[in-house]
Amino acid sequence: MSEELPPSDATDTEALDEVRATDADAWATACAEDLEAEKARRRAAYGPPPGSAAEELRKLADAVADKLSSLQSPLLGAVAGPAAQQVVRQVVQQAKAAVEPVIERNPDVFDHLAAAGNELLAAYRSAVQAQEHRWTTRDDHDLEERRDRGDDAGPGERIDLD
Mean pLDDT of 4-27: 63
Mean pLDDT of 8-35: 71
Q: Which amino acid is at 136?
A: T
Is residue 52 within 8 A of residue 107, CB to CB? The reply is yes
Distances (CA, A) of 115 to 53, 81, 153: 9, 41, 52
d(CA 119, CA 115): 6
Q: Which amino acid is at 97?
A: A
Q: pTM surpassing 0.85?
A: no
> φ, ψ for residue 147 (rounded to 5)?
-65, 135
pLDDT digits (tens, 9 = 90+) for 107-141: 788 888 888 988 999 999 999 998 888 888 866 56
pLDDT digits (tens, 9 = 90+) for 76-100: 555 556 677 777 778 888 888 888 8
Mean pLDDT of 39-68: 82
Q: In this structure, is the dihedral angle defined by the CA atoms of residues 81, 87, 93 and 98, taken in order, positive or negative?
A: negative
d(CA 160, CA 162): 6
Question: pLDDT exceeding 70 applies to what percent of the chain?
Answer: 62
**Helix 107-136 × helix 77-105 angle, to 10°:** 100
Q: Which amino acid is at 90?
A: Q
